[in-house]
Amino acid sequence: MLDSGIGSWPARRARMTPGARAFVQDESVVTYAEVDRLVEALAHGLRARGVTAGDRVAFLGLNSIELAVTLFAAARLGAIFLPLNTRLAPPELAWILTDAEPALLIHSDAFDEAVSAESVEAVDLPRHRFTEAGGHGLDALAGETAREDRPDRIDVEVGLDDVFMIQYTSGTSGRPKGVMLTHGNIAWNAFNLLVDVDVRSDEIALVTAPLFHTAALNQVLLPTFLKGGTSLIAARFDPAKAIATIERERVTLLFGVTSMYQALAQEPSWKTADLDSLRSALSGGAPIPRTLLDTWQSRGLHIIQGYGLTEASPGTTMLRAGDGLDKLGSAGTPCFFTDVRVVAPDGDEATSGQPGEVHVSGPNVTPGYWHDAASTDAAFDGPWLRTGDVAVADDDGFLYIVDRVKDMFISGGENVFPAEVEQAIYTHPDVVEAAVIGVPDERWGEVGRAVVVRRPDSAIHPDDLLKHLDGRLARYKIPKAVVFVDEIPHNASGKLSKSRVRELYGTPEGS
């Protein structure tokens, strides 16, 4: 094959294990041979619509077999897959579509309202609407190629350095940045995962976290596909259904963020459910509390925690099962093909216990940001990606994250950048100044709290401001509380002091 990228994976798998189950969703089962046929047909359909190498193909839809087929079909053409966060508000979607300039937007009928919003309609681009149908929802786009074996198989020369996907992540400037991930980035990340987790060809992975995110896609679905295992795809996470699926399908691999593991443990069926089939339970996004780890440990299940970021595809470090309790709170040690260093403020490598910025290097690290050379230059020190995360390393080399990318916080596994939320708050005419911080929350890990200075004559209520944000921001970004104050702290240079804001308002007493 000329294609050495991700788009060739279905064909390579089909010639090895054609009859094995690749994807299962609801009552639909798709084998590896069928995935290859669906991907080939859709690739022909996309090419007939004018999609060529380097073009972006945007996808807006919940977890589905159609999402996976689109991903592989775009890659087979040498095009770039652009998964869209289904939780974004229309103006946010419009900004990404304008920035990425996709050749085609494929969206499920569940998002008709979002794509028909005025801001999205204003982005003039071709669209295709589909209804999920167990992988066959895109047959109309594939056309006649979906119903016949074509002799002219597509085999575009795709290299590991070619861009495979753009994943947009919120930026500290308040605008999302498109992280470019190459075919090589994804492959090396999968190799890292396979070294750490021992994914097997008989793996049965439950995929309930959103596939527009790097973790569920790159840490679960694609490594499982590479090994020839089965991915059980659920459109949304439902704890009761998840436990029932684990029992019925004998699930072996699971991924979730803290809130998902908490929800599973709180299900009435949790204590009596047969979970013996589970071999690996992966987590990322934020450290899991000791009490929750103990709850899972009481069922004989250890949650494997890791640290990563979209720019690293995302695997960076892993707290492996054998170290989980001894190194509680640690992000672990670097993945096999990834190097990590902690850099002190003076630019030297930090000593044990000394805080510093985490730098990452390796073949899984992004080449940069889409259409943003300035951010790319700022993010790298030679081969090292500056993560913006502050950590300390202990004498054994285990990493402990002590602060996050500037003021970012993580709510239910979703990255929230206060600058973006503050920008939306400032669109209300009664707001003079605003500062958003993350505060602890039992369910979501952290939630937003907005500290706001009102105009002197304003009678705005906290609920009024929160309603103002609805539709301007994704729901998970909207603060859960608003605190009105007379003055927000500033430092000597006149800049808003987030550290002081957190001291005053970052605890329950500060609300």
Q: Looking at residue 77, which CATH number applies to its domain? A: 3.40.50.980
Flag whether 162 is in a domain.
no
Confidence of residue 492 (pLDDT cuts 50, 70, 90): very low
Number of domains forming the structure of the chain: 3
- Decide if 227 contacts 203 (C-beta within 8 A): yes
pLDDT of amino acid 511: 63
Q: What is the pLDDT of residues 414-455, one digit of tens each?
A: 878 787 788 889 889 899 889 999 999 988 989 999 999 998
- pTM equals 0.85
Q: What is the pLDDT of residues 72-126, one digit of tens each?
A: 999 999 999 999 999 899 999 999 999 999 999 999 999 999 999 999 999 999 9
Place of tokens 């890292």: 192
Q: What is the pLDDT of residues 200-220, one digit of tens each?
A: 999 999 999 999 999 999 999
pLDDT of amino acid 175: 78
Confidence of residue 293 (pLDDT cuts 50, 70, 90): confident
The reply to whether 467 and 484 lie within a common domain is yes
The reply to whether 83 and 16 lie within a common domain is yes
The reply to whether 364 and 437 lie within a common domain is no
Q: Which of 180, 183, 228, 237 is nearest to 202 (CA)?
A: 228
Flag whether 40 is in a domain.
yes
Helix (H, G, I), strand (E, B) or coil at 509: helix
The reply to whether 381 and 428 lie within a common domain is no
pLDDT of amino acid 493: 42
The reply to whether 8 and 93 lie within a common domain is yes
Rg of the chain in Å (alpha carbons):
23
Residue range(s) defining the domain that contains residue 452 = 409-510
Flag whether 471 is in a domain.
yes
Residue ending a domain, choose from 347, 374, 403:
403
The reply to whether 310 and 328 lie within a common domain is yes
CB atoms within 10 A of CB 175: 18
**Amino acid type, 359:** H
Which CATH number is 436's domain given? 3.30.300.30
Which CATH number is 366's domain given? 2.30.38.10
Residue 249's alpha-carbon distances to 24, 41, 277, 373, in angstroms, are 10, 30, 9, 47
Q: How far is CA 333 from the centre of its chain?
A: 21
Q: What is the pLDDT of residues 42-82, one digit of tens each?
A: 999 999 999 999 999 999 999 999 999 999 999 999 999 99
Residues forming a β-bridge with 415: 410
Flag whether 382 is in a domain.
yes
Flag whether 442 is in a domain.
yes
The reply to whether 481 and 368 lie within a common domain is no
Residue ending a domain, choose from 87, 103, 132:
132
The reply to whether 10 and 104 lie within a common domain is yes
The reply to whether 42 and 79 lie within a common domain is yes
The reply to whether 413 and 397 lie within a common domain is no
Flag whether 61 is in a domain.
yes
Q: Extract the tokens encoding 184.
A: 């090589």
Strands 333-334 and 315-319: antiparallel
Mean pLDDT of 453-461: 91
pLDDT above 60 (res 146): no
Helix (H, G, I), strand (E, B) or coil at 448: strand
Flag whether 166 is in a domain.
no
The reply to whether 463 and 494 lie within a common domain is yes
Flag whether 441 is in a domain.
yes
The reply to whether 53 and 127 lie within a common domain is yes
Q: What is the pLDDT of residues 316-351, one digit of tens each?
A: 999 987 786 788 778 999 999 999 999 998 999 999
Residue ending a domain, choose from 377, 403, 429:
403
Long-range contacts at 294-299 (CB < 8 A, ≥ 24 apart): 295/265, 296/261, 296/265, 297/325, 299/270, 299/275
